[in-house]
């Protein structure tokens, strides 16, 4: 069977992309002769190429994308050279921009389908994406990523430097893309200290939380930052459990197969909860959620199998 090339254009952040995974699988099943590639944020395009069974990844910040927003209506050769490589384009980007739609359709040699980045409808956003492409919604609705051997080996080496053993630590994820979605850092630190009395813990900080490095380190807590997504997914899979906010890394941890506790404040967990073996605690404002309410859920996960 001849294999063609397909392109999925998606502008979302990490959590959004994880929620799109059931739809990517549905597209792969629908078009078995097409090998799909992803156009997304640069870091996610690289991650997708290695972990999402996609043939390649491309930055959505490419010059050819910017050309599609030109209002002159003429064909742009550079855009045609790039987008004309694909037999199918599934676009979740700028679907309401008529200039973009017309230019992409003209530049492509194959079929182009447009869908909203934030699809309407009730229930989980992953189900809404599936309905947007006309696919059925499975039960249970799951998102899974593929860990590479080098991810696991890298995670094991990192854990060894911290004297942590697989399945003998809690992964702490105190950040998110929005400060209003974050449980107080003090509570995460106290929870890490409690976990250290039972097993161990490691706190992973993203770029937005690097300012907290000193806060956690000064309390004698194990902290990692600048961890790439593949290694972070493997660390989550090797943890006994994780705890995090409504964040992309919580979605990543759940998709890696880790079990955890995820804290929600202003966002709707029915629509945005990570797909996987997670417990959701919801309180608004989030800082009203007490440590004594959260710790029993973490402790129960820790005690399983100990």
pLDDT in tens, 266-288: 999 999 999 999 999 999 999 99
Tell me which fold the domain 4-132 belongs to: Rossmann fold (3.40.50)
Q: CA 179 from chain center: how many Å?
A: 18
pLDDT category of residue 304 using cuts at 50, 70 and 90: confident
Structure tokens at 177: 């893309």
Judged against a pLDDT cut of 70, whether residue 127 lies above it is answered with yes
Say how far apart CA 243 and CA 194 lie, in whole Å.
Answer: 13
Asked whether 244 and 263 are in contact (CB, 8 A), the reply is yes
Provide the CATH topology of domain 150-303: Rossmann fold (3.40.50)
Give the pLDDT confidence score for residue 72 in this predicted structure: 66
E strand spans, the chain: 4-9, 34-40, 57-59, 88-91, 111-114, 170-173, 201-205, 223-225, 241-245, 260-264, 278-282
Annotated domain spans of the chain: 4-132, 150-303
| Mean predicted confidence (pLDDT) in 129-155 | 96
For tokens 């959701």, name the residue.
280
The yes-or-no answer to whether 4-132 and 150-303 have a common fold is: yes
CB contact burial 3-22 (16+ within 10 A = b; e otherwise): eebbbbbbbbebbbbbbbbb
């Amino acid at each position: 069977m001849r294999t063609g090339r397909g392109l999925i254009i998606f502008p979302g952040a990490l959590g959004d992309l994880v929620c799109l995974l059931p739809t990517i699988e549905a597209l792969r099943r629908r078009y078995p002769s097409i090998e799909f590639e992803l156009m997304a944020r640069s870091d996610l395009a690289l991650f997708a190429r290695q972990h999402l069974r996609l043939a390649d990844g491309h930055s959505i910040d490419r010059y050819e994308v910017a050309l599609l927003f030109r209002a002159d209506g003429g064909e742009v050769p550079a855009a045609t050279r790039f987008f004309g490589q694909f037999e199918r384009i599934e676009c979740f980007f700028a679907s309401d921009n008529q200039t973009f739609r017309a230019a992409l359709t003209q530049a492509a040699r194959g079929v182009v389908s447009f869908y909203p980045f934030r699809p309407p409808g009730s229930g989980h956003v992953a189900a809404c994406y599936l309905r947007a492409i006309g696919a059925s919604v499975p039960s249970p609705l799951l998102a899974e990523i593929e860990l590479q051997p080098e991810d696991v080996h890298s995670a094991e080496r990192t854990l060894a430097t911290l004297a942590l053993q697989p399945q003998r630590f809690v992964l702490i994820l105190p950040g998110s893309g929005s400060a209003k979605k974050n449980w107080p850092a003090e509570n995460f630190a106290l929870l890490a200290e409690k976990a250290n009395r039972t097993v161990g813990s490691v706190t992973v900080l993203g770029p937005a939380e690097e300012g907290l490095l000193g806060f956690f380190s000064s309390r004698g807590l194990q902290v990692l930052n600048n961890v790439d997504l593949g290694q972070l997914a493997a660390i989550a899979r090797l943890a006994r459990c994780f705890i995090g906010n409504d964040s992309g890394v919580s979605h990543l941890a759940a998709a890696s197969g880790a079990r955890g506790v995820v804290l929600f404040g202003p966002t709707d967990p029915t629509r945005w909860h990570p797909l996987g073996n997670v417990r959701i605690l919801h309180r608004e404002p989030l800082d009203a959620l007490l440590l004594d309410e959260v710790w029993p859920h973490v402790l129960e996960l820790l005690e399983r199998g100990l």
